[in-house]
Amino acid sequence: MRRTARFIPGIDALFGVPAPAKWHPEIDTGIHTLMTLSMAAMLSPQVDVRFRNFMPRSRKGLTPPELWPRHHGHGPAGVKLVEQLCQRLRVPNEIRDLARLVAEFHDLIHTFPMLNPKTIVKLFDSIDAWRKPQRGRATGADQRG
């Protein structure tokens, strides 16, 4: 990942950052990021699948240590980082938009099986899943990684 840090500032900051064991048994955010990226690569050869699964935890590197291992709101807080990175790397708009949505709704997506139908409809409306159903498959690697 050290080489990646040149292109994605702050990536090194994810290593050594703890996450709650309940959600991430490997605990280290950097290791979880690598596991998620590896799983995304196994699930799909598409760059957009890998990118959107990689981005949601980018904000965790900025969580103050006194708040660890919790990173409340890291998904929505990471939207700005996603936008900045996508602009700097000239990421295609469609991939940027999907990465932004995954970051914004990251926490909610993880609780999907527990959501009530009304919340699911609101989520689908927010991500435009009715017209773009592929958006509903955006985070599978994170849950398996």
pLDDT digits 0-9 by tens, 59-115: 677 777 787 766 666 667 778 888 988 998 899 998 999 888 888 887 777 788 899
> Could you tell me which residue, 10 or 117, shows the higher pLDDT?
117
Separation between Cα atoms, residue 37 and residue 140, nearest integer Å: 11
pTM exceeding 0.85: no
DSSP single-letter state for residue 1? -
Backbone φ and ψ of 100, nearest 5°:
-65, -45
Quote the domain boundaries for residue 131. Answer: 2-144
Instruction: Specify the number of domains making up the chain.
Output: 1
